[in-house]
Structure 1
Amino acid sequence: MKRMLVVTAHPDDEVGGFGGTLMKYRADGVETSVISLTAGEAGTHRGHAKSDADLAELRRAELAAAANILKLSQAWVLDYKDGALDRENLYRVVGDLVRRIRELRPQVVLTFGPEGAVTGHPDHSMASAFATLAFQWAGRKNRYADQLWDGLEVHRPQKLYYQTTASLIPDRPPISPAPITCDIDIREWIDEKIRAFKQHSSQAPLFDTFEAYARLRLKESFHLAATTSPRSMEVETDLFTGVEE
């Protein structure tokens, strides 16, 4: 079976940059998984939450609701601190991701670029760094060898993609996005993508802006960042191009 893993920073990220792609590939029979490193408890938009703990609980439930629409095979929210991923223990976070890569055994891993996506969010940048290291280290016996004592085996995902963009958002931190190497046409799934985002009710102030941008774009863009087989850069139309099952 083909398997895809998306590593994000917050609940709702899975829809914003990856939702249409996740639905397209799930419809094609791909096993799709999402890991959010935080529960998004430091978010600006807080719905009816009265505390960070309330917001974390709410946003976990929101991701679960969105996952049902996206038809995800698995979705997890980890317990790292929202707004402070740059202060987490790198070896610990990467180790958590390495373990899950070795368990799930995806051929394709998707995450943000190191610029932090269109918002330039530092947590997005750190998710990129953690996921990139996990992609590289999951297949090495000298990285997190203690996991192998538990019966896990090393696993090398074949392709790593960064979510990227062809347009910027005014009044945001300056970013330098990676060039697009693959556009995924998501017009067939755009209504469901918008519906999935609206499951994140705490983000209601963003609903109109999100929908307007999504309907204007109708595609999700990615940059091929690494492969297990050295190759020249080329434009792709399928994230699984060249993948061996």
Structure 2
Amino acid sequence: MVTIQDNRRPSVDAPKVRINRALKLCSLFEKVARATFDNALEVAELDVVRAGMPIQKQDDNVTSLALLGHGRARLERKLPSGQTVPLGYRGSGDLLGEAALAGAQTYTESAIAIDESEVVRFPVASIHAWLRDDPALGVALLGLLVDRQRAAEDRIESLLFRNVEGRLVEFLLAAVDRWGVPDTRGTLISAPITHLEIAQSIGSTRETVTITLGALRKDGLLAVAGRRLIVVDRDALAKRR
């Protein structure tokens, strides 16, 4: 089934073709049994979510696990104070809402589409059945959770032991790895990330991020293309960590 939010048209490929493509992008399904893969293809539903719209909402009841088949998403959590804190970004082949596999009854964060995204959704009950019957899926899921834990620990270490410029440089290098595309001036970070989002991610202020980005531009390490940043010299930038 295809659900199109905000009346945006999906790509011309048939839904099952697009779901199959998404499954092959996801490391979770690389080594699963053929029966698991075929069942995932059978039960999955496909949404096309317009940029700026939620893929999942914090505190909504968990009904499915989402896989980004195409597009990008921003993770964020709303605190009791009302402040919204960005938690990171996801791209094609990444899972969303994996906390549901640990028994969470509601989504612990929101996921907002950065651009029009194809989202494949699996019923939580199906995921639990596959985990019970297919050891390869359990091993892959454990690897995913370890990677997410390591990323969280790296972020904490950066917040504790690096200055603002060092944390900003780490953020930019990670953005290049995830969103970088070749550009005549270097590597373009294709995701339009605001100074405020960067500041919240690295534990700083928008004003400080703006000043620090300006200094990196002055030193010839960064350039701008509209709302996007270009890393001109990655190696030289990495030395500023």
Taking structure 2 as the reference length, the TM-score comes to 0.26
Taking structure 1 as the reference length, the TM-score comes to 0.26
Larger strand share, 1 or 2: 2
Larger helix share, 1 or 2: 2
Higher RCO, 1 vs 2 (CA within 8 Å, ≥6 residues apart): 1
Q: Which has the larger radius of gyration?
A: 2
